[in-house]
A and B are shown apart, each in its own frame.
Chain A
Amino acid sequence: MEEALASLVQAILSGLAIGCLYTLIALGYNLTYVVNGTVNMGQGQLVMIGAMLMVTFTTFLDLPFFIALILVGLILGILGILLEVISVRKFVQDKTSVNWVLSTLAVGIILQDLALFIWGPEETRLVSPVGEGMFEFLGAGIYWKELMMIPAVGVFLLLLMLFYLKSHWGLWLRATADNKVATNLNGVNSNYTVAIAFGLSALLAGLAGGLITPIYAVFASMGLSLGLKAIAVAIVAGLNNAKGIVICGLGLGIVEVLVAMYISPGFREMIVYIVVILILFIKPNGLFGTKETIKV
């Protein structure tokens, strides 16, 4: 009985840890979707670039962990703005076009190849600033560095909510999403607003990449599979609902481990994606997403 309880607690703790990873990445999709209905399909590769820069700054330049993290966030923010200008802006002028899917995907692949050229294919990991100790609970364990991801997700969500509700940029961002023409007429350049949304989304990706370096292996081709899993989280939650993304991200992590433990690891992906399809079949806008009303 005790062993069964320990296994269950372990599954939940491990699921939370992996769920935090998905959530941190998935939150980045929310910002861009809200403002112009697009997502960066190369978001996973931005996370990878963030992680790689983090390794470079801390290992080769000897920068302290949190200084390096801020620097990574800023660099990725600028990269996100450039990405919007190069691979999104032109392609969303035609509302029916989905060329932005291909162009952002292409940028992701270019970034991956570039990373492979600069850093090579080796996997690496950073030493955690909170140490390598473990928190033990009811016979189960989770590393402190994994546990720290939960408040990190909370802080990310809080900052995002504050940004939307309290800042001018957040207001303009929501206004642009609501009516681009009217926003432009009121003197707000919607191009800037969209670029800032992409910048912030990339900044989040950079911070996520930096934060996971003490926990997971960092390597040039890590981005694609992470990005795919995170976009599944964002779509199931509803791309326009940040809180929903957090709930679904953590939930997906836990469900994955539970399926692997009590059914079979081989069915983990299959069952998770069957659930994804079922949810979208019943709620096409995702579990927490709201349908946009079209004014006529």
Chain B
Amino acid sequence: MNLIPLSHILIFSLALFGIGIYGVLTRRNIIGILISIELILNAANINLIAFSQTTSLSPETGQVFALFVIAIAAITAAVGLAIVLALYRARKTVFADEVHLLKW
């Protein structure tokens, strides 16, 4: 993969990560936050794949860990959505700023 410099790929994933962060910070809906988290994880995956193709000693290492990250993303989605359902059932809301029990 010598068509595109590694740094450009990294900047792309950085942008994706930043967008994900922005989404996590600004989305009111908890499902929206989860989606944004998927973006972040995805950005990490891109990095892993990119590095495995260029700088790592063995090319499969990055892919193996990318697989792990995908598994963790699935876990995040499953648990997060279960929490959303439970919250929705308990408080009839899915908005993060309407759930502030940790307040003073």
Partners in one complex: no
